[in-house]
Structure 1
Amino acid sequence: MNILQDLLLVNKSTINKTSKLFLKNWVIVFTGFVYTLLNIGLMIVMSLLFTLPILRFFSGIISFIATSAMISNYLYLLNQIIRYGRVTIQDFKEGFRVYLWKIYGVLFIGWAASFLFDRIIGPIIFSMSGALAVNIGFIISLLVLILMNALPESIYQKHYSSWDTVLYAFEFVKENWIEWFVPNVIMLGLFYIVTGNVIKDVFAISSGFLYSISIKGILLYIAGQIMFSFIMIYRGILFDILSTSTRRKRAYMQHLYK
């Protein structure tokens, strides 16, 4: 079975499963609104903490933990949908802590790498050329988005430590880059055409903010949330197929992917 046949086989199976699961669990569309409210609350708390010098030190830690909890919640809901075909209120309540420290560890690794570049490597490059430093920073951000693209799925579908999860996500993309990015690029392209938004965050948990209270703005936000939720379920199913099989195995067992 060649690569084109494999792409058609895998994505036909994935889109069928995704459609059924999305229609059964459409309520996940509204999680974006909930996370928006939680983020607003978090910003209010952070602004209050910054008025107290003693608590400023802890504001970054609190922000990291709160962000990790919201990401954990969304990934857990995706896991329940993909593994068990349903999501409940109890899942939503439990989700904030399931992957909390695993995600916190991954974010800390990202923060440490960013700190190293900004404080040591970046200034050295900037001293040679400011434009070069900006370009390298952009290239690094793009590489992170590409090489770590499957990080969310690696977190909730694989049982590894934070560091090993990062390594696994990289290996997965390296081994499945065609099968993974072809459908992802198509879906994100459609998302951009409909909403005008570009998803640049590996850990995005919603389609974005509601920037306009107009009818058009609200409709675009809802459309964005519907598409985003569908895409994330699609990614989860696609990841499950690709991470548990090879092209040869799929060719041999293609009757299972009908």
Structure 2
Amino acid sequence: MSILKDLLLVNKSTLKKTLKLFMSNWIIVFTGFVYTLLNIALMIVMNVIFRIPIIRFFSGIVSFIATSAMISNYLYLLSQIIRYGKVTLQDFKEGFTVYLWKIYGVLFIGWAASFLFDRIIAPLIYSINLSLAGTISFIISFLVLVLVNALPESIYQKHYSAWDTVTYAFNFVKENWIEWFVPNIIMLGLFYLVTGNVIKDVLAISSGFFFNFSIKGILLYVIGQIMFSFIMIYRGILFDVLSTSTRRKRAFMQHLYK
């Protein structure tokens, strides 16, 4: 099967399934509002509690755990939608802990890599060329966004440790980069054209999209949440198809993707 035919076949099937699942699980759109409120509440609590110098040291750990819990919650809801076709209030209650420590481990790996770069590599670059450091930092961030782009889906669809999850996401992108990025670039391009927002972080799930209190700002926020939810369901279905089949297998079983 040609690449173009495979792309059309897989994405036609994925779009059909996504529309069906999104229409029956539209409630997931409102999770963005919940995470935004939880983030605001967390910032208020941390500003009050961690003013005390002795316990300020633990603020980073608490923030990491809280962020991991919200990402876990959203990924669990996606998992339930893709696996069972529906989500319940009970799923929302349970979701904060399901992938908590796996996500904490993934975030820690990212933090450790960033720490090493800032403390060891960046000073060396600064000493050579100050402007070059910013360029290299941008390139590294872009490469991370590309090379482990399927990290959210790898977390909730594959049962691996934190490190193995990161390496699996990398290998998945390496093996399926055409089939994965063509629809993703189109969707993210549309997302940017409509909302003006760029998704720069593969785990920017729990942050929501902050808005200004104008009619236009609120409207764009709502549209952004709808589009983001649709994109994440689409990605989940697409990942499931690509990670459990090859182009040859899909050509042999193409009647299943119609």
Band the TM-score falls in, shorter-chain normalisation: over 0.9
Aligned pairs for 1:43-122 (under 5 A) are 43-122=43-122
Q: Report the counterpart of residue 139 of structure 1 in structure 2.
A: 139
**Is residue 246 from structure 1 mapped to residue 258 from structure 2 by the alignment?**
no
Contact kept? 2:212, 2:218, Cα under 8 Å? yes
Q: Report the counterpart of residue 230 of structure 1 in structure 2.
A: 230
Report deviation, 1:216: 1.4
* Distance in 2 of aligned mates of 1:212 and 1:64: 26
**Is residue 17 from structure 1 mapped to residue 29 from structure 2 by the alignment?**
no
Moved over 6 A (4+): none
Report deviation, 1:198: 0.5
* Distance in 2 of aligned mates of 1:98 and 1:207: 19
Per the alignment, in what secondary structure is the counterpart of residue 112 of structure 1?
helix
- 1:4-39 deviation per Cα after TM superposition (whole angstroms, max 9, x unaligned): 000000000000000000000000000000000000
- Pair 1:116–1:210, CA change in 2 (3 A): closer
* Distance in 2 of aligned mates of 1:92 and 1:63: 20
* Distance in 1 of aligned mates of 2:50 and 2:128: 36
Residue type of the alignment partner of 2:186: I
Residue type of the alignment partner of 1:217: G
* Distance in 1 of aligned mates of 2:76 and 2:120: 37
- Pair 1:31–1:228, CA change in 2 (3 A): same
Contact kept? 2:82, 2:236, Cα under 8 Å? yes
Report deviation, 1:171: 0.0
Q: Which sections of structure 1, spanning at least 5 residues, go unmatched?
A: none
**Is residue 129 from structure 1 mapped to residue 129 from structure 2 by the alignment?**
yes
Residue type of the alignment partner of 1:247: R
Contact kept? 1:207, 1:221, Cα under 8 Å? no
Per the alignment, in what secondary structure is the counterpart of residue 55 of structure 2?
helix
Contact kept? 1:212, 1:218, Cα under 8 Å? yes
Q: How many residues align?
A: 258
Per the alignment, in what secondary structure is the counterpart of residue 199 of structure 1?
coil
The Cα RMSD (Å) is: 0.9
TM value normalised by structure 2: 0.98
Q: Report the counterpart of residue 202 of structure 2 in structure 1.
A: 202
Residue type of the alignment partner of 2:22: F
Per the alignment, in what secondary structure is the counterpart of residue 54 of structure 2?
helix
Contact kept? 1:148, 1:166, Cα under 8 Å? yes
Report deviation, 1:69: 0.2
- 1:155-188 deviation per Cα after TM superposition (whole angstroms, max 9, x unaligned): 0000000000000000000000000000000000
Residue identity (%) = 82
* Distance in 1 of aligned mates of 2:15 and 2:60: 40
- 1:103-139 deviation per Cα after TM superposition (whole angstroms, max 9, x unaligned): 0000000000000000011101111011111111000
Report deviation, 1:78: 0.2
Q: Report the counterpart of residue 189 of structure 2 in structure 1.
A: 189
Report deviation, 1:208: 4.0
- Pair 1:224–1:162, CA change in 2 (3 A): same
- 1:44-92 deviation per Cα after TM superposition (whole angstroms, max 9, x unaligned): 1221233101111111100000000000000000000000000000000
Residue type of the alignment partner of 1:184: N
* Distance in 2 of aligned mates of 1:116 and 1:92: 36
Q: Which sections of structure 2, spanning at least 5 residues, go unmatched?
A: none
Q: Report the counterpart of residue 29 of structure 1 in structure 2.
A: 29
Deviates more, 1:39-48 or 1:10-19: 39-48
Q: Report the counterpart of residue 170 of structure 2 in structure 1.
A: 170
- 1:180-238 deviation per Cα after TM superposition (whole angstroms, max 9, x unaligned): 00000000000011101111111122684332222111111111111000000000000
* Distance in 1 of aligned mates of 2:35 and 2:223: 17
Contact kept? 1:207, 1:224, Cα under 8 Å? no
**Is residue 212 from structure 1 mapped to residue 212 from structure 2 by the alignment?**
yes
* Distance in 2 of aligned mates of 1:71 and 1:151: 12
* Distance in 1 of aligned mates of 2:217 and 2:135: 34
Residue type of the alignment partner of 1:159: H
